[in-house]
Amino acid sequence: MSFFVYILYSHNHNRTYTGQTENVVSRVNKHNSGRVKSTKAYKPWVLIHTDIYNSRAEAMKQEKWYKSSAGRKRIAEILKNYLHSI
Give pLDDT, residue 86. 87
Predicted pLDDT of residue 38: 96
- For the domain covering 3-85, report its CATH number: 3.40.1440
What's the whole-number mean pLDDT along residues 34-40? 97
DSSP assignments along 3-62, one per residue: EEEEEEEETTTTEEEEEEES-HHHHHHHHHHT-STTTGGG---EEEEEEEESSHHHHHHH
pTM over 0.85: yes
**Mean pLDDT for all residues in the chain:** 98
